[in-house]
Amino acid sequence: MIITKKLSKRFSNDRGVFDLDLDVEKSTIYGFVGPNGAGKTTTIKLLCGLLKPDSGKAFIDGTEVLPKNISIIKKKIGYMPDITGVYEQMSVWEFLDFYGAAFKIPPKKRKSRIEEVLEITNAKEMIDYQMTSLSRGMRQRIGLAKTLIHDPSILILDEPAGGLDPNARIEMRMTIGRLKSIGKTILLSSHILPELSSVCDRVGIIFKGKLLVQGSVREIGRQLQEKLVVEVTVDSDVMQAEKLLKRIEGVESVTKIDAKQLSFNFNGTRNQISGVLGLLVKHGVVVRWFAENEANLENVFMGLTQREAS
């Protein structure tokens, strides 16, 4: 649904985006991750046709992003910025009706469409609220409703949970999940990495304008992790398990986490790691839990960006 091929926009030698190859599949949530100034907003503007690239191409649901195709692109994309600008003097109904008219939705269909987007964003009770009275979380929900008003197939959401309290973040996460379930494709830019990890099918990490890696968090973690990290919980003598692990070939840095739990690095393949478990059991260790400690998005992001910066 979103494809870029060597997409570039240069503002200076180290500012802009360079040879970007994004690949966002239909009905998935793609997390777009990067520090401030990495090129996320520039990428979004290129996808929406708000900036002209210096080189490369971008495609939205098969349509190339070109000036002659902007009217088609606008119908396909719903863009929600990090801060939703509102007309303070309007009610929620008037605000959504205004945008419905801007997208040329006929008046007879506009009422039902407003009700639909308020239902999707769990904001039906706000229909008669004044925009000026809305909290940050409420404004984000109405901003998302406005983004959905013309029923786009692709949503580009820039920091939708930024500045929200924990309850509002949970509500936003649930709403994004509902949007995926009804077939929307979502490009989600955020700095709240645990939030991204919990909702995204795939992520792309951008740093200094370059896409460093993309894929599932698990896939990326496995690509970057030099050694496997394994956690073991035992129901027997933990000291016995620790001594045994230290004698096994490929096992390094055995650490006691608590009275029954150990962690170690394994300098081998995933196919070989089952042999470690077999040796523990063979020597009388009662193993309750034995599993690889999967990389999380925060660790992947920090490790990758620090490597690039050095």
pLDDT higher than threshold 70 for residue 192? no
Decide if 172 is inside a domain. Answer: yes
Judge contact between 230 and 292, C-beta under 8 A: yes
Work out whether strand 154-158 and strand 185-189 pair parallel, antiparallel, or are unpaired: parallel
The pTM of this model reads: 0.78
Query: Is it the case that residue 252 has pLDDT exceeding 70?
Result: yes
Confidence of residue 310 (pLDDT cuts 50, 70, 90): low
CB environment 278-309: b (16+ within 10 A), e (fewer): ebbeeeebeeeebeeeebebebbbebbbeeee
8 Å CB contact between 263 and 257: yes
pLDDT band at 1 (very low <50, low <70, confident <90, very high): very high
235 vs 303: which has the higher pLDDT: 235
Residue predicted with more confidence, 303 or 172: 172
Tally the domains of the chain.
2
pLDDT the model gives residue 166: 82
Residues 200 and 231 in one domain: no
> Has residue 292 got a pLDDT over 90?
no
The residues facing 290 across adjacent strands are 232
Q: Which residues contact 268 (CB under 8 A, 6 or more apart)?
A: 228, 250
Write the pLDDT tens digit of every residue in 83-117. 777 788 899 999 999 999 999 999 999 999 999 99
Same domain, 238 and 212: no
On the question of pLDDT at 68 being above 80, the answer is yes
Tell me whether residue 278 is in a domain.
yes
Amino acid 204: pLDDT: 93
What count of other Cβ atoms lies within 10 Å of the Cβ of residue 74? 16
Which of 33-47, 53-67, 201-215 ranks highest by mean pLDDT? 53-67
Q: Domain of 274: which CATH number? A: 3.30.70.100
Q: At residue 225, does pLDDT exceed 70?
A: no
- Long-range contacts, 176-181 (Cβ 8 Å, 24+): 176/29, 178/120, 179/120, 179/148, 179/155, 180/27, 180/28, 180/29
Its domain, for residue 33, covers 2-222
Residue 67 located in a structural domain: yes
Q: What are phi and psi of 28, to 5 degrees?
A: -125, 165
Report which DSSP code applies to 55. E
Residues 68 and 168 in one domain: yes
CATH number (domain holding residue 82):
3.40.50.300
pLDDT reported for residue 295: 65
Distance in angstroms (rounded) separating the CA atoms of residues 197 and 153: 23
